[in-house]
Chains A and B, each alone.
Chain A
Amino acid sequence: MNLEKVIFGFFIVLAMTLNFGFFLGDIDNPAHHHIYELYAAIVVSLIATVLKFGDRTHVGAILLSTSLAADLQLITAAILWASLSGKYDEQALMVYIVSLSGGALMANIISVVLLIAETISQRR
């Protein structure tokens, strides 16, 4: 067992689960989507991205790109929330934010699938 691998896997899976937790619920109901969950999803996603830096293998490159895609969507959602809350219809705003986080969730799922595929292909 390798501690580095544990940490690496932990952050990638956590990024997906937090993202999923935020995404879960009615798409237009602000009560179902807590800002701290989005906040945690962004922070963990950023950490996962940095952990993926510097891996020159092909799988490493794809892992990094999925993380970058997730970051981009989550940060866009956060910017929308920060800039438009209070000035815009709350339900409509929530639809935008949750759908963006849904996109990020797809990227995170791909990331986890890749991680699993790589783990299974390991021979030892």
Chain B
Amino acid sequence: MNSILFLILRRLRRPLILIIVSFAIAIFGLTMMPGVDNKGQVWHMSVFQALYVISYTATTIGFGEIPYPFSQAQRLWTTFSIYFTVIPWFYAIGKIITLLQDTALKQAIAAERFGRAINLLQEPFYILCSYGQSVTLLAKALDHMNMRVVVIERSQNRLDELELTDSKQVIPHFCGDAMLPDNLIRAGILNPHCRGLVTLTDNDEVNLAVAIAVKLLNPKLPVVARAERDDIAANMASFGTDHIINPYTLFGDQLAMRVHALGTYLLHEWLTGITGETLLPPEPPPRGRWIVCGYGRFGKSVVANLEREHITTTIIEAKPELTGCNQCIVGSGTEAKTLKEAGIESAVGIVAGTDNDINNLSIVMTAFELNPNIFLVIRKNNSHNAALFKQFDAHITMQPTYIIAHECLAHLISPLLAQFLTLVRDQTNDWANQLISQLVSKVGEEVPETWAVTIDQQTAPAVTALMHQHIAITLQTLSRQPTDREQALDIVPLMLLRNQQPMLVPALETPLMMGDQILFCGRPEAKTAVTTLLEHDKTLTYIVDGSETPNSLLFRWLMAKKV
């Protein structure tokens, strides 16, 4: 606020001096002019009376001739004063109004307010740089999980969109360049409550600059950055960016996962889904020869991943010399001739992966006409075209923004979840299917909440207290209803991390130890129940042996005596 006040004062120097000078001359002159009082004697106005008269004259209020009707000399001077003082007055008012509409000042006020809003946040929050399509999804999901987010975005239009969205909590936002370290500091990268920063702009250089700035200013802060080019990704990794997201490889990876391990893919989607959504089991893609239209970064990743699964591919590419594709059919894939040339009749699947939504739709529609049994995978680039894609209803609609948002969520919800998902990829498909059926039976078909718990003095005081009394606490203890110990809570422990050793889906009989980290999955109600158990020793004692510990000191003493 300080700097703004000085900015205003500095710009108002000239009008203020003009007002002071013109008033001073007008007041002095008025006291000099001889007047006549009600007794007909010569009378001079005092300085104070003159100040009064000039004040209401200059501001165009005009009370009249006070206290006695003016003499000719006084009227003459007042006439002069009117023109002399009113003009500087209006000039000053005009200047103040211009100043209030000044963009530099508005920007300064917005920055000040943003900084104050961040300082007032007394809970953990994430910083999101840019507010594109994937960040919109991410912000919505985090908001849904009651996590606070802060947005820095360069374009005011997108921020206007943000202002109109319906969110549970206020999302402080600021229109500015995230590449400037000042803006990052203002957004709270040095704030002790800041949990992490996500930079997902579509410009690799911006993401790189933001990641470097954050790692220099606050090396401990986790950074999730998007990078499309391999050299930028390597650069980011070199200075310790925590997670680097490449939407193209991510998509190829996920498609391959769908082909060879649908269960694993489903588990991945489910655990990183937005709470409250229902997830339908998708069809597994068939094995056989595939056609890939478009051999850009996206197509290359798809082909590489499909080939790893021993699936042969035929590539259709409009500009083979640009994309460095040796064996391909030249064409865009939107016309029947090219598709026939690629052998559409004998192919089992087609991937429409160009960066043009309309072309992609055209490719799959033509392909579907030529071969109604073909498996259709379509890439959706722009979420504004959602209605068209919904109408067409391909087998798989892949939207880079959606994939990026899911991947970010996996890292932001808890580092444990990201670790779990990596470990899951090494498991068999049957294992994943089994886990899914277990989860569905316990928590239902809606996307569950996933959260991590650390057994230590701070987050689980009740558990530590009972452990000190040598009472064994197992995972079983933590999955009971606080109101009725006979009833089990609908939660599934996904992973237990002890001394950096992960244990996937630990048995409920596993005894807990200090420092254990547990990843739970369940309904939001179960999450609050588990928190109660971790924090209240009375409730936990009840779960352990069914006894009610008295609250008051006196009764505790009596109980101890009785024993």
Measuring CB to CB, which residues of chain A are less than 8 angstroms from any residue of chain B? 35-36, 39, 43, 46-47, 50-51, 53-54, 56, 78, 81-82, 85
**Contacts A36-B28, A47-B17 given; does A54 touch B47 at CB 8 Å:** no
14 A-B pairs whose Cβ atoms sit less than 8 Å apart in the complex? A35-B47, A36-B28, A36-B47, A39-B24, A39-B28, A43-B24, A46-B20, A47-B17, A50-B20, A54-B6, A54-B7, A54-B10, A54-B13, A82-B46
CB pair A54–B28 under 8 Å, yes or no, is no
Once bound together, how far apart are the Cα atoms of A39 and B46, in whole Å? 11
Chain A residues near B9: list those with CB within 8 A: 53-54
Shortest Cβ distance from residue A38 to the other chain B in the assembled complex, whole angstroms: 8
Q: Which residue of B lies closest to A35 (CB)?
A: B47
Chain B residues near A54: list those with CB within 8 A: 6-7, 9-11, 13
CB pair A56–B6 under 8 Å, yes or no, is yes
Shortest Cβ distance from residue B24 to the other chain A in the assembled complex, whole angstroms: 4
CB pair B10–A82 under 8 Å, yes or no, is no
Once bound together, how far apart are the Cα atoms of A78 and B11, in whole Å? 29
CB pair B47–A50 under 8 Å, yes or no, is no
Q: Which residue of A lies closest to B2 (CB)?
A: A56
CB pair B13–A82 under 8 Å, yes or no, is no
CB pair B6–A82 under 8 Å, yes or no, is no
State whether the Cβ of B12 lies closer than 8 Å to any Cβ in chain A. yes
Chain B residues near A36: list those with CB within 8 A: 28, 31, 47
State whether the Cβ of B472 lies closer than 8 Å to any Cβ in chain A. no
Shortest Cβ distance from residue B47 to the other chain A in the assembled complex, whole angstroms: 5
**Contacts A36-B28, A56-B6 given; does A51 touch B47 at CB 8 Å:** no
Contact of B21 among A39, A47, A82, A85 (CB under 8 A): A47
12 new A-B contacts at CB < 8 Å, known A35-B47, A53-B16 = A39-B24, A43-B24, A47-B21, A51-B13, A51-B17, A53-B9, A53-B10, A53-B13, A54-B6, A54-B7, A78-B47, A82-B46
Once bound together, how far apart are the Cα atoms of A43 and B23, in whole Å? 9
Q: Which residue of A lies closest to B32 (CB)?
A: A36
CB pair B16–A50 under 8 Å, yes or no, is yes
Q: How many A-B residue pairs have CB under 8 A?
A: 42
Chain B residues near A50: list those with CB within 8 A: 13, 16-17, 20
Chain B residues near A35: list those with CB within 8 A: 46-47
State whether the Cβ of B557 lies closer than 8 Å to any Cβ in chain A. no
Chain A residues near B13: list those with CB within 8 A: 50-51, 53-54
Shortest Cβ distance from residue B85 to the other chain A in the assembled complex, whole angstroms: 14
Which interface residue of A36, A54, A78, A82 has the most chain B CB atoms within 10 A?
A54
Once bound together, how far apart are the Cα atoms of A119 and B190, in whole Å? 40
In the A-B complex, the 9 residue pairs with the smallest Cβ-Cβ separation, listed nearest first, are A54-B10, A82-B48, A53-B9, A43-B24, A50-B16, A46-B20, A50-B17, A54-B9, A39-B47
Chain A residues near B12: list those with CB within 8 A: 53
Chain A residues near B31: list those with CB within 8 A: 36
Shortest Cβ distance from residue B402 to the other chain A in the assembled complex, whole angstroms: 49
Once bound together, how far apart are the Cα atoms of A46 and B27, in whole Å? 15
Chain B residues near A46: list those with CB within 8 A: 20
Shortest Cβ distance from residue B19 to the other chain A in the assembled complex, whole angstroms: 9
Once bound together, how far apart are the Cα atoms of A82 and B10, in whole Å? 32
Shortest Cβ distance from residue A4 to the other chain B in the assembled complex, whole angstroms: 11
Shortest Cβ distance from residue A100 to the other chain B in the assembled complex, whole angstroms: 16
Once bound together, how far apart are the Cα atoms of A85 and B49, in whole Å? 13
Once bound together, how far apart are the Cα atoms of A56 and B3, in whole Å? 9
**Contacts A39-B28, A54-B10 given; does A47 touch B20 at CB 8 Å:** yes
Once bound together, how far apart are the Cα atoms of A81 and B20, in whole Å? 20
Chain B contacts with A in 44-67, Cβ cutoff 8 A: 46-48
Once bound together, how far apart are the Cα atoms of A63 and B47, in whole Å? 28
Which interface residue of A36, A46, A53, A81 has the most chain B CB atoms within 10 A?
A53
Once bound together, how far apart are the Cα atoms of A39 and B51, in whole Å? 11
Once bound together, how far apart are the Cα atoms of A61 and B28, in whole Å? 31
Once bound together, how far apart are the Cα atoms of A47 and B17, in whole Å? 6
Shortest Cβ distance from residue B206 to the other chain A in the assembled complex, whole angstroms: 32
Once bound together, how far apart are the Cα atoms of A46 and B16, in whole Å? 9
Shortest Cβ distance from residue A43 to the other chain B in the assembled complex, whole angstroms: 4
Q: Which residue of A lies closest to B52 (CB)?
A: A82
CB pair A82–B24 under 8 Å, yes or no, is no
Chain A residues near B24: list those with CB within 8 A: 39, 43
CB pair B20–A43 under 8 Å, yes or no, is yes
CB pair B47–A82 under 8 Å, yes or no, is yes
Chain B residues near A85: list those with CB within 8 A: 46
Once bound together, how far apart are the Cα atoms of A104 and B12, in whole Å? 25
Shortest Cβ distance from residue A40 to the other chain B in the assembled complex, whole angstroms: 8
Q: Which residue of A lies closest to B17 (CB)?
A: A50
Chain B residues near A53: list those with CB within 8 A: 6, 9-10, 12-13, 16
Chain B residues near A56: list those with CB within 8 A: 6
Once bound together, how far apart are the Cα atoms of A50 and B7, in whole Å? 13
Chain B residues near A81: list those with CB within 8 A: 48
Shortest Cβ distance from residue B378 to the other chain A in the assembled complex, whole angstroms: 58
Chain A residues near B7: list those with CB within 8 A: 54
Chain A residues near B16: list those with CB within 8 A: 50, 53
Once bound together, how far apart are the Cα atoms of A123 and B46, in whole Å? 48
Shortest Cβ distance from residue B52 to the other chain A in the assembled complex, whole angstroms: 9
Q: Which residue of A lies closest to B10 (CB)?
A: A54
Chain A residues near B11: list those with CB within 8 A: 54
Shortest Cβ distance from residue B25 to the other chain A in the assembled complex, whole angstroms: 9
Once bound together, how far apart are the Cα atoms of A78 and B49, in whole Å? 12
Once bound together, how far apart are the Cα atoms of A82 and B13, in whole Å? 28
Chain A residues near B17: list those with CB within 8 A: 47, 50-51
Shortest Cβ distance from residue B104 to the other chain A in the assembled complex, whole angstroms: 14
Once bound together, how far apart are the Cα atoms of A35 and B9, in whole Å? 30
Once bound together, how far apart are the Cα atoms of A47 and B16, in whole Å? 8
Q: Which residue of A lies closest to B24 (CB)?
A: A43
